[in-house]
Structures are given as structure tokens and as C-alpha cells.
């Protein structure tokens, strides 16, 4: 009788283990790396981090040699100063000494006009008394008219001198200043790209160049692994994939950790696979499976390591 009871208990225990095994699938942790590069080439001047260190967003990572970009930025700044000075000069009138010269010429012409007016009046009186000839009167009138036109000309010149350059010249100078400002911004951007900071907080997974090496444009120097970019990939047999939904909670167990991690399904592959790329299972690789991705909160994800095998319970 006792032996029969033990057999029944053992059978129930084995059935429970089989059910747990059926509920569990194999998977592995995967990381989506952030590769930090400079769009410009240069020799690696400083490397501020080491592989395996943690960085916060905005912390410096590396810098490239930037002598050429610094010179270009300084040159653009000087050209902008020159352009702004030309614009300010175009908006001004003549210099004070030049204005004084025009005013003196105007006063001189007004004095000459006053004298010509008196001379014309005197010649008119002489002509009326038949003392002077008509030619003398005509000469006086011509001199008066000439001095009057000279006064009008100098008044116009003085007014123009006070206005500065023409409107189209000022607009051209303003457009030139805007172009020089854009050139300075471009030069400043180029210089800033020689120094890269961490775009996100995370683990420095690898450093791809040593200090002093030449780094081609666009080639990554640092690979970062933010905690939010760590996920788990599991491969679910086809008969069970229909019961899994995006957003469904899961529990993930890894070796060496007593309590399982809580996550949720973020993606279900629309394509079936006969041979998964990596799977830690003793089952046949010819079995049809679907790849499912699972995400975690950043604090939980930071406890996983890319390539780490795990058991997943849906």
C-alpha cells in the first residue's frame, strides 16, 4: 500500500515538472548598442572613459585633434566682425570732418550767392539809369543763378551725406552679415563635433580606438549600452505562439539570481524560424519557433548582460 502511494506521488510530481517545463522557453539577453562617432576625421587626442565604466548623459567621451577647426572658427569670427563693421559704416553718413567740409562749402556758396544778389541789384539800378550796358546786367544775373545752383547742389550733397549708403547697398551688407554668421555657426559646429559626449546614460561596452590613432570620419569610437536598450529574445514553439500577446507580462530567470525578473512582451516576429541563431536548449533545432522580444524597466535591464541565457515563463 505504501509503495503504491509513493508511486502515485512520484507520478504527480513528474507531471508537475513536465507542465513547468512546457511553460518555460529558452532565451538570451541582447543589447542594442549606441555607437558614438564624430562626423569629422582626426587623430584621437583624449579618451575620457574606459571599457566597463558607467557614464551619465552629457559626460565627455573623447575628443579629436581640432587645430584646423579652431583656426577656421577664428577666421570666420574675424570675417563676421569685418562684415558687421562694414554694415555699420554703410548705415552711417560721412565722417565728421567730411561733414564739416561740406558745411563750409555750403556756407561759402551762400556767401557768394548773397554777394551775387547785391551785385545784380546794383547792376539793375545802373542799367535803369543807362549807366551800365545790358551785358553787365546779364553777367550779374548769370553769376547770381550760378551761385544759387551751387547752394542747392551743396544742400543736396549734405543731406545725402547724412543718410548713409543707398537702401539696396545696406540690404546687401545685411545679407553678407547673415552669411558670415552662418559660416561662423558652421565653423563652431565643426569644432564642437571634435568633442563627443554621452548621448545617453549607460555602460561603456567597448572603446574601438586607442589614443593617438587616426579616426576616419563617421567611424565609431565608443559603443554604449544604455539599460533601456537591453532586452531578451526567446524562441517560442509554434503551437504556443497564438496564446502570446504584445504587452503580456513574463517572468525571466537567470543563473545565479534567486528571484525572477519581471518583463513584458514588446515584439512578436511575424516570421517563423527553423534554426534560431542562438538558443540554449537540448531540443531539436528543426522545430518551428517564433522569436519574441521582451523588455524590462531600466533598473531591471541593467542586471542582464548581452548573451546571458535565461528561462522565460509566459
Residue 75: per-residue pLDDT = 96
Domain co-membership, 129 together with 231: no
Q: What confidence category does residue 19 fall into, taking pLDDT thresholds of 50, 70 and 90?
A: very low
Integer CA distances (angstroms), 275 to 242, 268, 279, in order: 20, 17, 9
* pLDDT of 165 above 50: yes
Residue 6 lies in a domain: no
In a domain, 3, yes or no: no
Q: Are residues 94 and 60 in the same domain?
A: no
d(CA 116, CA 257): 113
Q: Which of 155, 187, 201, 262 is nearest to 59 (CA)?
A: 201
Q: Got the DSSP string for 244-286?
A: --TT-EEEEE-TT-SSPEEEEEEEEEEEEESS-SS---SS-TT
Task: Evaluate if residue 4 carries a pLDDT over 80.
Answer: no
More confident residue, 153 or 276: 153
Q: How far apart are CA 285 and CA 14, in angstroms?
A: 25
**Structural domain ending residue among the three candidates 160, 187, 214:** 187
In a 13 Å sphere around the CA of 171, the CA atoms on its Cβ side amount to 3
DSSP for 66-85 reads -HHHHHHHHHHHHHHHHHHH
Q: What mean pLDDT comes out for the span 278-286?
A: 49
* Cβ neighbourhood burial of 174 (10 Å; 0-12, 13-18, 19+): middle
Same domain? 105 vs 179:
yes
What integer pLDDT is reported at residue 53 of this predicted model?
93
Q: What are phi and psi of 191, to 5 degrees?
A: -65, -40
Is 4 among the domain residues? no
pLDDT on residue 220: 97
Looking at 187, 206, 236, the residue that finishes a domain is 187
- Whether 14 is covered by a domain: the verdict is no
In sequence order, which ranges of 164-201 are alpha helices (DSSP H)? 167-193
Rounded-to-integer distance, Cα 75 and Cα 78, Å: 5
80 in the same domain as 153? yes
Task: Indicate whether 44 and 116 sit together in one domain.
Answer: no
| Residue 9: inside a domain | no
- Please name the residue ranges forming H helices in the chain: 2-23, 67-91, 96-128, 134-163, 167-193, 238-241, 298-301
User: What CATH number corresponds to the domain at position 220?
Assistant: 2.40.50.100
Instruction: Report the CATH number that the domain containing residue 290 is assigned in CATH.
Output: 2.40.30.170
Cα–Cα distance for residue pair 276/312, rounded to 1 Å: 16
Beginning with the edge strand found earlier in the chain, give each strand of the sheet holding 60-64 in spatial order: 195-197, 60-64, 42-47, 214-215
Let me know whether 297 and 198 are in one domain: no
pLDDT tier at 8 (50, 70, 90 boundaries)?
A: very low
| 177 belongs to a structural domain | yes
Q: What residues have CB less than 8 Å from 59, skipping those under 6 apart?
A: 48, 49, 197, 198
**Most confident residue range from 34-43, 92-101, 161-170, 233-242:** 34-43
State residue 275's pLDDT score. Answer: 57
Residues 93 and 61 in one domain: no
pTM of the entire predicted model: 0.65
Give the model's pLDDT for residue 184: 96
Q: Are residues 270 and 234 in the same domain?
A: yes
- Domain encompassing residue 286: 25-33+226-313
What are residue 232's DSSP bridge partners? 29, 294
C-alpha 275/C-alpha 269 separation (Å) is 14
Q: Is residue 308 part of a domain?
A: yes
User: What angle, rounded to 10 degrees, do the helices at 134-163 and 96-128 form?
Assistant: 160
Q: Are residues 233 and 252 in the same domain?
A: yes
Q: Yes or no: say if 55 and 223 are a contact pair by the CB < 8 Å rule.
A: no
Number of domains in the chain: 3
**Is residue 297 in a domain?**
yes
Q: 80: pLDDT confidence band, cut at 50, 70 and 90?
A: very high
Residues 183, 78 share a domain: yes
**pLDDT at 164 (0 to 100):** 59
Q: How many residues does the chain have?
A: 314
Label residue 208 exposed, middle or buried (CB < 10 Å: 0-12, 13-18, 19+). middle
The grid cell for 14 is 513528474
Amino acid at each position: 500500500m505504501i509503495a503504491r502511494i509513493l508511486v502515485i506521488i512520484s507520478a504527480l510530481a513528474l507531471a508537475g515538472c513536465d507542465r513547468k517545463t512546457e511553460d518555460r522557453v529558452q532565451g538570451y539577453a541582447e543589447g542594442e548598442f549606441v555607437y558614438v562617432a564624430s562626423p569629422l576625421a582626426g587623430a584621437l587626442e583624449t579618451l575620457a572613459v574606459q571599457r566597463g565604466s558607467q557614464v551619465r548623459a552629457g559626460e565627455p567621451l573623447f575628443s579629436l585633434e581640432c587645430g584646423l577647426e579652431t583656426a577656421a572658427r577664428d577666421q570666420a569670427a574675424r570675417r563676421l566682425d569685418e562684415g558687421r563693421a562694414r554694415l555699420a559704416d554703410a548705415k552711417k553718413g560721412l565722417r565728421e570732418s567730411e561733414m564739416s567740409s561740406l558745411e563750409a562749402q555750403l556756407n561759402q556758396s551762400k556767401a557768394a550767392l548773397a554777394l551775387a544778389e547785391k551785385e545784380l541789384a546794383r547792376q539793375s539800378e545802373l542799367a535803369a539809369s543807362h549807366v551800365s550796358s545790358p551785358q553787365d546786367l546779364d553777367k550779374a544775373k548769370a553769376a547770381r543763378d550760378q551761385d544759387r545752383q551751387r547752394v542747392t547742389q551743396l544742400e543736396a550733397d549734405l543731406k545725402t551725406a547724412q543718410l548713409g549708403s543707398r537702401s539696396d547697398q545696406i540690404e546687401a551688407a545685411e545679407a553678407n552679415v547673415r552669411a558670415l554668421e552662418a559660416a561662423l555657426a558652421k565653423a563652431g559646429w565643426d569644432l564642437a563635433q571634435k568633442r563627443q559626449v554621452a548621448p545617453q546614460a549607460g555602460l561603456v561596452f567597448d572603446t574601438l580606438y586607442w589614443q593617438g590613432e587616426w579616426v576616419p570620419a563617421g567611424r565609431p569610437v565608443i559603443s554604449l549600452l544604455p539599460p533601456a536598450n537591453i532586452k531578451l529574445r526567446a524562441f517560442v514553439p509554434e503551437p504556443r505562439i497564438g496564446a502570446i500577446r504584445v504587452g503580456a507580462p513574463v517572468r525571466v530567470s537567470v543563473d545565479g539570481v534567486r528571484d525572477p525578473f519581471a518583463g513584458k512582451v514588446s515584439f512578436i516576429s511575424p516570421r517563423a524560424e527553423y534554426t534560431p541563431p542562438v538558443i540554449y536548449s537540448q531540443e531539436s533545432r528543426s522545430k518551428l519557433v517564433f522569436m519574441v522580444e521582451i523588455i524590462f524597466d531600466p533598473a531591471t535591464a541593467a542586471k542582464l548582460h548581452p548573451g546571458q541565457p535565461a528561462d522565460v515563463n509566459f
